[in-house]
Amino acid sequence: MHLRILKKGLFAALMSLVTVNIVCLAILLNNHVASSQFFDKWLHSLLIAWPTAFVCILLIAPLLLRWLDTVIPEQ
């Protein structure tokens, strides 16, 4: 049981980190951020978005999975 909780937490951390990095990169490139400011803007964006995405994945993903189990039953 303990290992299962750890696995879910690590999944949420990694998934949110990857997702936030992709989104931050896309937004910064779309906004044509100068290369001299890129790292600072990326880090600032990451520090705001990563905890938000992490909590969302921890709290919302299980609810969505349960809902999908009721909508699309296994056969």
Q: What is the DSSP string of 12-27?
A: HHHHHHHHHHHHHHHH
Question: Residue 8 is part of which domain span?
Answer: 2-71
In this structure, the chain runs to a length of: 75
Q: What pLDDT was estimated at residue 26?
A: 95
Q: What pLDDT was estimated at residue 50?
A: 96
Number of domains in the chain: 1
27 pLDDT more than 90? yes
The model carries a pTM of: 0.79
